[in-house]
């Protein structure tokens, strides 16, 4: 029987060249308020890769919305192509082989979007189809993978490439308030690309099949995570409600239960958990609500520790670490889980 | 359908009786099957495991094959599954609790025995390790007693086991002892119970800065459940 389900054949990631410890930022921007300082130093994040502006005379970085948008574009065109190349090289593919390109970002609005810019920058074929998913937040990697997988399934043998590019340092408002410090202490810059293809020729490849997705939206928490205009700052600003980690945790069983039930599986059948590195609190809430262990979220934690929250690409950094670990066996099931504005939880089931 | 044990599950209490005194591959498989049922379909709130256990039956393993580490991994996975069952677990030991049986007992929430029961971990004397009891035992009895028991392989009598906290109660009539333990447990929230057990099991090796986050996540789950919402309603009048 022809099995038309697509596989994730490769992953590649990239980050900006400059890496900062949390203490470096406090020093650079002269953050002295102990409450703000403790947000940075107790957040279970050690380092992040960021594009940081120099400090002004008062210690703070001063970037207009226009400058932040330029940073988003320039940063995306630096690390996006690196992630794509790292993803394609192991397969012996080049951008000329790509038939469908999907780019995901929340850190800046551009028209034409990142797909068009990447295609020009890297020389994709002119007949490559494309889609931009903009503004869906941390969960968007799975909102993107869902249509990418469908496209791959509808076009057997063709190469679909999904690229998440988040320049979170282009979403900075630095005003020494708790609201912005929560955000500025958490998010990092990074890009991750995956190649998805449905082909019988890949039957022997050690690459997981994408078996299905399940979504969950919590309309009552629509305002709990948002990236909206701040009139006072004259910039977009990200807001995170303090209760949202727990609300997300309490809802996590629902999409997971539906996803597993649809495939006749139990939680104990899942060997690998790829949970979005949203922050320490939300990962704890997920752990205790769906009953998975600290070990199950080891990559989630280590990605958070080394990179911060990379928004839509985080879970792909965990996926890359899982592969490098060399522990995955043929037949193993994995669950991918991302959460973000909506408020929403997205899940996917994969099998090697 | 079970050869090494009997399993009954009807009301609030499910009961496993170990019919084989030495743990073999078949018994591990059958216990896994029982766990499948308890996790997936059982309505039981408590699981009682009864029997005596003399440890792992090496004679039952293929003598032509070297014993590899994967069999031990299977055993440990089973023990930690029993430790995390959605039900409260009670191990009622009658007469002997040696090696693997002792290891399994330490994974259970409540533990009772008859006065003539002797507990021992002879593994180290035999040249191997008593499984993850190396991590569990000291949590019950303290490091000093754990070292003595493991290194000497000495038998621990029922009264000493009670004194050290290996068991919660000792009684000649095991049925009556089990019944009074279950009565003392009373009705409870399964969610709060299993969350409390998980935090306790993790309590010895969780960093203080992580512990508060784990607690808050668990507490949020507990206070979202119907049982707590009812309590709140009653308390507030």
- Residues B55 and B98 placed together within one structural domain of the fold: yes
What's the pLDDT at B14?
97
For residues A221-247, average pLDDT: 89
What's the pLDDT at B190?
87
Give the gap in angstroms from C-alpha A333 to the nearest C-alpha of chain B: 17
B229 pLDDT more than 50:
yes
A33-42, A77-86, A293-302, B138-147: which has the minimum mean pLDDT?
A: A33-42
Q: Which two tokens stand for residue B170?
A: 């000792």
Quote the CA–CA distance of B221 and A138 in Å, as a whole number: 23
Find the Cα–Cα–Cα–Cα dihedral B66, B69, B71, B76, rounded to 10°: 160
- Residues B212 and B107 placed together within one structural domain of the fold: no
What's the pLDDT at B69?
86
A251 pLDDT more than 60:
yes
Return all residues near A104 (Cβ < 8 A) that are at least 6 apart. Answer: A132, A133, A134, A136, A140, A141, A143, A144, A162, A163, A164, A165, A312, A313
Last residue of a domain, one of B149, B164, B185: B185
Determine, for residues A250 and B217 on separate chains, whether the beta-carbon distance falls below 8 Å: no
What's the pLDDT at B2?
95
- Residues A146 and A94 placed together within one structural domain of the fold: yes
pLDDT bracket for residue B186 (50, 70, 90): confident
- Residues A177 and A279 placed together within one structural domain of the fold: no
- Residues A330 and A276 placed together within one structural domain of the fold: yes
| CATH number, position A266 | 3.40.47.10
B143-152 and B133-141 are packed helices; what angle lies between their axes, rounded to 10 degrees?
130
Last residue of a domain, one of B149, B167, B185: B185
Q: What is the pLDDT of residues B42-81, one digit of tens each?
A: 999 999 999 998 888 888 777 677 777 888 899 999 999 9
- Domain ranges, residue B150: 5-185
- Residues B202 and B181 placed together within one structural domain of the fold: no
- Relative to beta strand B5-9, strand A344-351 is unpaired
Q: Which two tokens stand for residue A136?
A: 């869906």
Tell me whether the omega of the peptide bond preceding residue A112 falls within 30 degrees of 0, making it cis: yes
Query: Is A227 within the bounds of a domain?
Result: yes
For residues B11-35, average pLDDT: 95
Number of independent structural domains in chain B: 2
Establish if B216 touches chain A: CB-CB under 8 angstroms. Answer: yes
Q: What is the pLDDT of residues B114-131, one digit of tens each?
A: 999 999 999 999 999 999
- Residues A186 and A217 placed together within one structural domain of the fold: no
Give the gap in angstroms from C-alpha B82 to the nearest C-alpha of chain A: 13
- Residues B29 and B82 placed together within one structural domain of the fold: yes
3-class DSSP assignment, residue A202:
helix
Quote the CA–CA distance of B150 and B129 in Å, as a whole number: 9
Is residue A57 exposed (0-12), middle (13-18) or buried (19+ Cβ within 10 Å)?
Answer: exposed
Determine, for residues B221 and A250 on separate chains, whether the beta-carbon distance falls below 8 Å: yes
Establish if A56 touches chain B: CB-CB under 8 angstroms. Answer: no
Quote the CA–CA distance of A87 and A84 in Å, as a whole number: 5
B113 pLDDT more than 70:
yes
A1 pLDDT more than 50:
no
Quote the CA–CA distance of A192 and B3 in Å, as a whole number: 52
Q: Which residues pair with A191 in a beta bridge?
A: A14, A165
Q: What is the pLDDT of residues A108-151, one digit of tens each?
A: 999 999 999 999 999 999 999 999 999 999 999 999 999 999 99
A253-262 and A280-290 are packed helices; what angle lies between their axes, rounded to 10 degrees?
50
- Residues A65 and A155 placed together within one structural domain of the fold: yes
To test the contact with chain B by mutation, choose from A288, A291, A300, A304 the residue with the greatest count of B C-beta atoms within 10 A, namely: A288
Number of CB atoms found within 10 A of residue A170's CB: 25
Establish if A42 touches chain B: CB-CB under 8 angstroms. Answer: yes
Establish if A108 touches chain B: CB-CB under 8 angstroms. Answer: no
- Residues A230 and A271 placed together within one structural domain of the fold: yes
| DSSP codes of every residue in A9-77 | EEEEEE--S-EEEHHHHHHHTT---HHHHHHHHTSS--EEE---PPP-TTSS----HHHHHHHHHHHHH
Last residue of a domain, one of A161, A187, A202: A202
What's the pLDDT at A335?
98
Residues of A in contact with B42 (CB under 8 A): none
Last residue of a domain, one of A157, A172, A202: A202
Average pLDDT across chain A, whole number:
95
- Domain ranges, residue A72: 7-202
Tell me whether the omega of the peptide bond preceding residue A343 falls within 30 degrees of 0, making it cis: yes
A323 pLDDT more than 50:
yes
What's the pLDDT at A3?
67
Establish if B37 touches chain A: CB-CB under 8 angstroms. Answer: no
For residues A152-172, average pLDDT: 96
B86 pLDDT more than 90:
yes
Establish whether A102 is a catalytic residue: no
Quote the CA–CA distance of A63 and A345 in Å, as a whole number: 33
For residues B178-197, average pLDDT: 92
pTM of this prediction exceeds 0.95: no
Residues of A in contact with B216 (CB under 8 A): 246, 281, 284
Establish if B217 touches chain A: CB-CB under 8 angstroms. Answer: yes
Query: Is A2 within the bounds of a domain?
Result: no
- Residues A322 and A288 placed together within one structural domain of the fold: yes
Say which residue, A215 or A232, is predicted with more confidence.
A215
Q: What is the pLDDT of residues A23-64, one digit of tens each?
A: 999 999 999 999 999 989 887 999 999 999 999 999 889 999
A19 pLDDT more than 60:
yes
What's the pLDDT at A163?
98
Cα A112 to Cα A99, A116, A124, A137, B33: the distances in Å are 19, 6, 15, 19, 57
- Residues B124 and B195 placed together within one structural domain of the fold: no
Establish if B207 touches chain A: CB-CB under 8 angstroms. Answer: no
Residue of B nearest to A253 (CA): B221
Query: Is A1 within the bounds of a domain?
Result: no
pLDDT bracket for residue A239 (50, 70, 90): confident
Would you mind telling me the total number of residues written for chain A in this entry?
A: 352
Report the percentage of chain B scoring pLDDT > 90: 78
For Cα atoms A268, B225, A349, give the angle at the middle one, nearest 5 degrees: 30
A250 pLDDT more than 50:
yes
pLDDT bracket for residue A175 (50, 70, 90): confident
Average pLDDT across chain B, whole number:
93
Determine, for residues B220 and A285 on separate chains, whether the beta-carbon distance falls below 8 Å: yes
- Residues B56 and B98 placed together within one structural domain of the fold: yes
Q: What is the pLDDT of residues A75-116, one digit of tens each?
A: 999 999 999 999 999 999 999 999 999 999 999 999 999 999
- Relative to beta strand B118-120, strand B88-98 is parallel
| CATH number, position B165 | 3.90.226.10
- Residues A198 and A217 placed together within one structural domain of the fold: no
Q: What is the pLDDT of residues B190-222, one digit of tens each?
A: 899 999 999 999 999 898 889 999 999 999 999
To test the contact with chain A by mutation, choose from B213, B214, B224, B228 the residue with the greatest count of A C-beta atoms within 10 A, namely: B213
- Residues A187 and A304 placed together within one structural domain of the fold: no
Last residue of a domain, one of A143, A173, A202: A202
């Amino acid at each position: 029987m022809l099995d038309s389900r697509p596989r994730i054949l490769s992953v590649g990631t990239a980050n900006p060249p400059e890496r900062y410890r949390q203490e470096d930022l406090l020093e650079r921007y002269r953050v002295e308020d102990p409450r703000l300082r403790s947000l940075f130093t107790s957040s279970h994040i050690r380092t992040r890769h960021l594009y940081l502006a120099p400090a002004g005379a008062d210690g703070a970085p001063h970037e207009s919305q226009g400058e932040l948008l330029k940073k988003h574009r320039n940063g995306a065109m630096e690390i996006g192509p690196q992630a794509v190349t790292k993803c394609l090289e192991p397969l012996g593919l080049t951008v000329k082989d790509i038939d469908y390109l999907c780019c995901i970002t929340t850190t800046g609005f551009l028209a034409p979007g990142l797909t068009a810019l990447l295609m020009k920058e890297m020389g994709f074929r002119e007949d490559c189809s494309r889609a931009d998913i903009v503004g869906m937040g941390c969960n968007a990697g799975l909102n993107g993978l869902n249509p990418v997988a469908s496209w791959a399934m509808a076009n057997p043998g063709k190469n679909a490439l999904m690229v998440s590019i988040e320049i979170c340092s282009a979403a900075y408002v630095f005003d020494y308030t708790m609201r912005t410090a929560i955000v500025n202490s958490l998010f990092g810059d990074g890009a991750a690309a995956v190649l998805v293809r449905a082909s019988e020729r890949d039957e022997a490849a050690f690459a997981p099949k994408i078996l299905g997705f399940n979504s969950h939206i919590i309309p009552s928490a629509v305002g709990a995570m948002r990236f909206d205009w701040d009139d006072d700052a004259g910039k977009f600003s990200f807001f995170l409600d303090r209760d949202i980690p727990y609300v997300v945790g309490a809802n996590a069983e629902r999409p997971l239960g539906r996803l597993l039930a649809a495939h006749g599986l139990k939680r104990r059948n899942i060997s690998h958990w790829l949970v979005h590195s949203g922050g320490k609190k939300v990962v704890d809430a997920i752990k205790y609500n769906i009953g998975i262990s600290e070990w199950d979220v080891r990559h989630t934690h280590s990605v958070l520790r080394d990179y911060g929250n990379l928004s839509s690409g985080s879970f792909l950094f965990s996926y890359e670490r899982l592969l490098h670990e060399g522990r995955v066996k043929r037949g193993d099931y994995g669950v991918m889980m991302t959460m973000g504005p909506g408020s929403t939880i997205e899940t996917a089931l994969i099998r090697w | 359908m079970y050869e090494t044990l009997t399993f009954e599950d009807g009301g609030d209490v499910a009961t496993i009786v170990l019919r084989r005194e030495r743990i073999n591959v078949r018994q591990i498989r059958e216990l896994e099957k029982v766990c499948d049922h308890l996790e997936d379909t059982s309505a039981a709130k408590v699981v009682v495991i009864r029997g005596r256990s003399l440890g792992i039956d090496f004679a039952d393993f293929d003598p032509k094959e070297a014993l590899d580490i994967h069999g031990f991994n299977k055993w440990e996975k089973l023990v930690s599954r029993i430790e995390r069952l959605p039900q409260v677990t009670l191990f009622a030991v009658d007469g002997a609790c040696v090696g693997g049986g002792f290891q399994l007992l330490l994974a259970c929430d409540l533990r009772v025995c008859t006065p003539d029961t002797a507990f021992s971990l002879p593994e180290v004397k035999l040249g191997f390790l008593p499984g993850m009891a190396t991590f569990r035992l000291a949590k019950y009895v303290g490091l000093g007693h754990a070292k003595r028991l493991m290194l000497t392989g000495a038998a621990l009598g029922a009264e000493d086991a009670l004194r050290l906290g290996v068991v919660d109660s000792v009684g000649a009539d095991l049925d009556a002892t089990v019944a009074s333990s279950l009565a003392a447990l009373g009705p409870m929230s399964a969610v709060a119970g299993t969350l409390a057990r998980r935090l306790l099991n993790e309590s010895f090796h969780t960093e203080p800065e992580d512990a508060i986050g784990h607690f808050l996540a668990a507490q949020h789950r507990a206070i979202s459940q119907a049982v707590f919402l009812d309590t709140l309603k009653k308390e507030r009048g």
